[in-house]
Each structure stands twice: as C-alpha cells, then as structure tokens.
Amino acid sequence: MTGTQEISIQLGGLRRRELRRLFAISVTVHLVLIAVFGFSPKSRISVPRGVIAVELVSAPAAARSAAPAAVAKPAPPKPKKVVLPAEPTTPKMQPKVVEKPPPVQPTAAPETEYEDVLARLRAESGEDAPPTEIAKAAPTAIGSPGSPDGVAISPEVAAWLKRAKIHVRKNWVVPPGFRTQVLEARVEVDLDASGKVRGNPRLSRRSGNPWYDEGVIRAIQKSSPLPPPPEAGKWNFVFMPEDSY
Amino acid sequence: MRAARLVAAAVITVAVTATDIFAAERPAVVVTSGKEQKFSVALQKFAGGPDAEAYREGLAAALEFSNLFRLIDRKAFLGQTTTQTLATRARIECMEWSTIGAEFFVEGALRVEGGQFVAEFGVWDLVGCERKLRRRYRQLSSADAIILAKRMADDIVEVLTGIRGVTSTELTFVSKRGGNSEIFVMDADGGNQRAATANRSINNFPSWSPSGDAIIYTSYRVENRPKLFISTRGRGKPGRILSKLSDMPQYRAVFHPDGRELAVVMTPSESTEIYRVNLNGKNLRRLTQNRSIDISPSWSPDGRRLAFVSDRSGSPQIYLMDADGSNARRLTFDGDYNTNPAWSPDGRWIAYQGRVGGQFDIWLIDPEGSVNLPLVSHPRNDESPCWSPDSRKIAFSSTRRGSADIYLIDSSGDDLRRLTRSPGDDTSPSWGPYPR
C-alpha cells in the first residue's frame, strides 16, 4: 500500500516536471507557428487567397459525379398495341397459330446427339492446333493509397493547370475500352521549376485497374518536361476518361 | 538538452505539417482523355524468311485494328528497319527509337524448325526502356502465318490494357449475297469471308458456342420448318440438333455461357416463348408464361439472367429475367420499338436496337436501367448489335450504304468500320469467342 503511494508521489513529481517542460515546448511551438504563418513574407504558394478559378475545378470526384448521362425515364406504356413480328422476318417464319397449345413433351433424344454431330464436324474440318506460347511477361501494378483535395485557384495557377492538362493529355493514351468506364487515378508528381519530373510519380489514388494506372504514370513520364509550374514541388494530377458514362 | 531536442523535433513537425497543409491546398491538374490518342509503335521487319515483309504487314494491320496503335513510318527510323537479332537489356538503344516519337518498339524473328513455323518477338517500352514482352509461337508451317501475327497483336494489346485483343476472333452472320440467306463466317477484320451453309434454304440467327467449336442457327432446310442446326466455321457438313425435342418450330437459340444449355425461342401456341433446354434435348423448361410474344434471349455473362424482348406492355421492349424465368422486369421505357438485346461479356451494358424517329439505332443501357444512351445514330437503320469478347467493340448491321452490311464500332462510339461490301444484305452478326 505504502509502496503504491510512494510510486504515485514519484509519478506526480515526474508529471509536474514534465508539464513544465511541455509548457516550454508549447510556448516555443506557438512562437514558431506565429513566425511561420504570421510573419513569413510569402506563403509557400504565391496565390492571392479568395480568388476562384473559373474553368478548372480541383475536386475531380464532384466533376465525375456531374458527368452528363442520359437517364432512362420511365414512361407510361403505350396504349396502342404494336404487333411484334416473330423472330424470322419472312412469311414462312411466322409463328404458327394453333387452336390449342400443344403440350410440350420433349422426347428423349440420344444423349450424344450434340457431341456426335460436333465430333463429326470437327473431324471433317480438321482444325489446326492453336499456337503455343513458351514465355510470358505480365505488366506490374504500381501505386499506393490516396489523399484529399485542395481549394481556391489564382488565375496564374489556373492558366498553368490548363496548360499542364493540355500538355499531359497529348501524351495520355486511353484504350478504347477504358473510355466507357468510370476510372479515376490520382498521381503526385514532383516538378522542378522548369517543369521536369523529379523522381517517380506516385499514385496517391488508384483506379482499380492497374493497366489504366500504368498508362497514367506513363503519360506523366512522357510529358516531362511539363510547362514550368508556378512553383516547384509536388503537384497532383487526376486522370479520368471524358467519355465515362 | 533533452528539452532542446524535443523543441527541435516540434519545430520540424510543425514545418512538415505546414508544408503538407500547403501541398494539400494546391489544386490538382484534372486531365480528361482526348480523342484518338494512340501508342506510337516502331515495328521492325522481322528477321528471317522471304515472308517477313508479308508478316510485318499482317502484324501492322492487326495492331492498327485494335485502334490502340499508330505505326511509325519506317522511313523515319534511325535504327535498323529489320531485326538482326532480338535485343537484350544491355544492347537496346531506346533513345534511338524514342527520338523518333516511338513509345514501343517491336522486333522479331521468323524461322521454320522441324516442320513448324516459329515466330519470336519482343516488345520494348521505350519510356522506361524495359522489355514488356518476349514470346515465341509455333504452328504448323503449312498454316497461315498471319494467324500468328494476329495472335501476337492480341497479346500485345493484353499486356498494355489487361484484356486480350480480338483480331484473331471471328464473326458469323447471315448473307444474301448468293440470293439465299446463308450463314457466313469472317475474320474480325472482315477478311476471309466464307459460307458455312449452302443449302439454298433460309438460314438465320447464327450464334457461337462459348468454346467457339460450333455455330448454332435456324434453318428451314428440313420440311421447310425452322429447326436448329450447328456448323463449324464454314467447314464440314452442318448437323441438326434437338431433332427430337418436339414438333414446335425452333426460331432461335443461344448458348448458355457454360455451353451446356440453350435458350430457345419456340412457339407452343399462338404466342412465342423462351425455353431452356440441355444440348441433348433433355430438361426442357419454359421460362416465359404469358400470351405475348417473348423473343431474342441474351444471357448475362454469369448465366444467371436473361435479357429478352417482349410486347407484353403493348410495344416491343427489353426485359430482364432470372435464368429460371422469375423476376421479369421491364428495362427500356424510351422508344416504341426496342429489340435484339446483347449483354456485354463484361456484364456492364446491354446493347440493343431502338427505334426513335422512325429509324433504328444502336443503344446502350446498363442492367439497372439507370443509363440509356445511343451509341451510334444514322438516318438509315442500324440493327442487331453483338459484342466482341473483350467488350470493346460492337458489330451491327446497317443499311447506311443501301443494302445491309456488317459494321464495327468501339463501345465508346469511335472508330466505325465497314466489314462487308457484298451486293446482298449481310445481317445478324454474332461475334465468336477467343480462339483457344
């Protein structure tokens, strides 16, 4: 019991000392914060606040959800009965009208009719053996998890965003099949002042399709150097097919 | 001293956090896809053999068919126009190829070895200067070398997009070029068109088996009544199946994705109904149970549902039902005549022909019915869509040039191609599976 109390007292002493130290740290941190935010002559982004870009939006998720899509609107059934022709279009193919529907009584067919016919056909046609492959290489997936988005944009930055978009788009190949899918990848790219890509672009949000993601990284690599950015450093690129329905 | 270290750590933490805050505030460059961007490819003439040039042309055509590549003119090459020996990582001159705008470099060698034609090739990614692919194919030397070139192109597409290309697949269709409606087969690029039937009767609604072994179709060749037959790629004598099923007319059949069953359209009475039946004619089940006309079944890729056409609401519309006939629900509500649904192999879309303003166009609708849009529109009629096995292309028949011909279009609505140019109508295309 006594031992416990002693330990508590010691802990209390330690806490008081620690608190004093933490208070000192806290004061220092606040001073540093004031220095960084309050007295810095220029923030890291030389963007006047409160300016909104007109054309480009830095919230791609919203842009995607707003993508136009023709939506089927339920309409009341047409009162007029349209007679649907049977599958075949020739008169001979019209369904036969009978007084009473004959009961469907499937007669047992030989088990092997389909296989027999097929086997004979294949034997007659003598189809070639398919080519054999001896070595394979598969593309590899690249990437890592995602990050959130930003906000207001100055005209200078907006102009660069547009130039960068046009530049990268020219180098981005979207296979035909990907254009009809909702695929979105986000890449963090480190650009130097001249627009050159430093190091490897990092996938911060994968699309779920590794080939699409690889194509996105490829587009960035091909695009280097990009138009010189307003400021060197890390910039995010969001890729999405325009035609995704 | 310890306190000083803590202060230093705190300062660093604050600085890093501040950087992150500003980095996060930077707006993102939103890149949407432009039209018609393609991979630029430098394709060498393969080493070996007098047929190397023809082989290169076949491979070039197959690559271009994918709508994914642009081939760089050989006159622009700084390096060799013909492969000497296949490159290695140590020897490849990526700069030599990337300087002329190439993103990929394709090289290869051909030879005949022990009665076999051997084609070996490599694909280099010039952006990262690394080999993407190196494969060797063999086939009998008597076979057409272009088959291998197409297979190569399809595999290159797969490496770059994750889904194999379809150049080496085939389509079947109905042609009246000889005066009668006969079943024809052609390569996916429209080449090698040949008749699969020549019975001078009426043959219609060809559809592939999932394995590609057989084409099932309806023919009036026996007693002038519609019955089901199978054929194989235009070779061999067609054979009748389900011959003892019943006396009902059999208008159309499509294979279940597992290849063991069929959905068959038959007429038990005054109505036309959809049935399921095993290939041997056993286990017949009627799926639609009403007095309206129910036709044009198309299986979902998992085989659990069927899209079909019914006029139960008063006009022909696309419906979906479970594979046992339950849970039928109407899918299309726009237009007064929607028919010929085709479920895409990836399950995302159902293509169909819909009539708007007196003309049939090809439309796409998702299985939930939330998105419905025209894929291709023309004052003349576009009909009977079917999907390529990679779900990237749609074949359909169109009368836009007078008589009906078979056309292809990407599922994005780009790259319209005409495949047939015969004097008679070419209709009812069905796209075969990947070759084995």
Mean of all residue pLDDT scores within chain B: 90
More confident residue, B298 or A103: B298
Q: What is the pLDDT of residues B87-133, one digit of tens each?
A: 887 778 899 999 999 999 999 999 998 889 999 999 999 988 999 99
Tell me whether A58 touches chain B (CB under 8 Å).
yes
Confidence (pLDDT) at A200:
92
Range of A241-245, B2-6, B196-200 with top mean pLDDT: B196-200
Asked which of A55-59, B3-7, B322-326 is least confident by mean pLDDT, the reply is A55-59
CATH for the stretch B170-431: 2.120.10.30
CA distance B280 to chain A (A): 5
For chain B, what is the total number of helices (H) and then of strands (E)? 4, 30
Confidence (pLDDT) at A51:
31
3-class DSSP state of A24: helix
The CATH number corresponding to B39-161 among 3.40.50.10070, 3.40.50.720, 3.30.200.20, 3.40.50.300 equals 3.40.50.10070
CA distance A157 to chain B (A): 8
Q: Are residues B265 and A87, on separate chains, in Cβ contact within 8 Å?
A: yes
pLDDT at B76 over 60: yes
Mean of all residue pLDDT scores within chain A: 62
Q: Are residues B281 and A56, on separate chains, in Cβ contact within 8 Å?
A: no
The H or E element containing residue A133 is strand A132-133
Of chain B, the percentage scoring pLDDT greater than 90 comes to 69
Residue of B nearest to A183 (CA): B32
Q: What is the pLDDT of residues A32-42, one digit of tens each?
A: 665 555 444 33
Instruction: Measure the CA–CA gap between B395 and A32, rounded to whole angstroms.
Output: 67
pLDDT at A138 over 70: no
CB distance A184 to A64 below 8 Å: yes
Q: Minimal CA–CA distance to B22: which of A52, A227, A46? A: A46
Instruction: Measure the CA–CA gap between B391 and A179, rounded to whole angstroms.
Output: 12
Chain A hits for B18, Cβ within 8 Å = 36-37, 44
Confidence (pLDDT) at B2:
54
Confidence (pLDDT) at B145:
87
Range of A14-18, A79-83, A162-166 with top mean pLDDT: A162-166
CB pairs under 8 A between A and B: 379
CATH topology of domain A142-239: 3.30.1150
> Looking at the partner chain, which of A70, A211, A243 has a beta carbon nearest the beta carbon of B412?
A243
More confident residue, B93 or B385: B385
Of chain B, the percentage scoring pLDDT greater than 70 comes to 93
pLDDT at A119 over 70: yes
Residue written as tokens 């399809």? B154
Tell me whether B313 touches chain A (CB under 8 Å).
yes
Confidence (pLDDT) at A161:
93
Domain extent listing, chain B: 39-161, 170-431
> Looking at the partner chain, which of A71, A113, A241 has a beta carbon nearest the beta carbon of B33?
A241
Instruction: Measure the CA–CA gap between A76 and A55, rounded to whole angstroms.
Output: 40
* Torsion angle, alpha carbons of A49, A53, A54, A60, to 10: -130
Q: Are residues A72 and B27, on separate chains, in Cβ contact within 8 Å?
A: no
Confidence of residue A197 (pLDDT cuts 50, 70, 90): very high
Confidence of residue A110 (pLDDT cuts 50, 70, 90): low
Confidence of residue B134 (pLDDT cuts 50, 70, 90): very high
- Cis amide linkage into residue A91, ω under 30° from 0: no
Confidence (pLDDT) at A82:
39
- Give the best residue of B30, B103, B161, B247 to mutate against chain A (max A CB count within 10 A): B30
Confidence (pLDDT) at B11:
52
Tell me whether B129 touches chain A (CB under 8 Å).
no
What sections of A81-194 are H helices per DSSP? 113-125, 155-170
pLDDT at A229 over 70: yes
More confident residue, B41 or A57: B41
pLDDT at A158 over 70: yes
Residue A197's Cβ-count burial label (10 Å; 0-12, 13-18, 19+) is: middle
Confidence of residue A102 (pLDDT cuts 50, 70, 90): very low
pLDDT at A11 over 70: no
pLDDT at A209 over 60: yes
pLDDT at B43 over 90: yes
Under the phi-then-psi rule, with left for phi > 0, alpha for psi from -120 to 50, and beta for the rest, what region is A49? beta
Tell me whether B392 touches chain A (CB under 8 Å).
yes
Q: Which residues contact B365 (CB under 8 A, 6 or more apart)?
A: A72, B318, B331, B332, B349, B350, B352, B371, B372, B373
Of chain A, the percentage scoring pLDDT greater than 90 comes to 28
Instruction: Measure the CA–CA gap between B117 and B126, rounded to whole angstroms.
Output: 29
C-alpha of A65 from chain center: 13
Tell me whether B312 touches chain A (CB under 8 Å).
no
Tell me whether B25 touches chain A (CB under 8 Å).
yes
> Looking at the partner chain, which of B39, B233, B365 has a beta carbon nearest the beta carbon of A173?
B39
> Looking at the partner chain, which of B313, B372, B412 has a beta carbon nearest the beta carbon of A70?
B372
Mean pLDDT of B272-289: 93
Confidence (pLDDT) at B9:
54
Range of A94-103, B259-268, B298-307 with top mean pLDDT: B298-307
pLDDT at A145 over 70: no
Confidence (pLDDT) at B41:
95
Tell me whether B291 touches chain A (CB under 8 Å).
no
Confidence (pLDDT) at B4:
58
Sign of CA dihedral B38, B39, B42, B43: negative
The H or E element containing residue A12 is helix A2-33
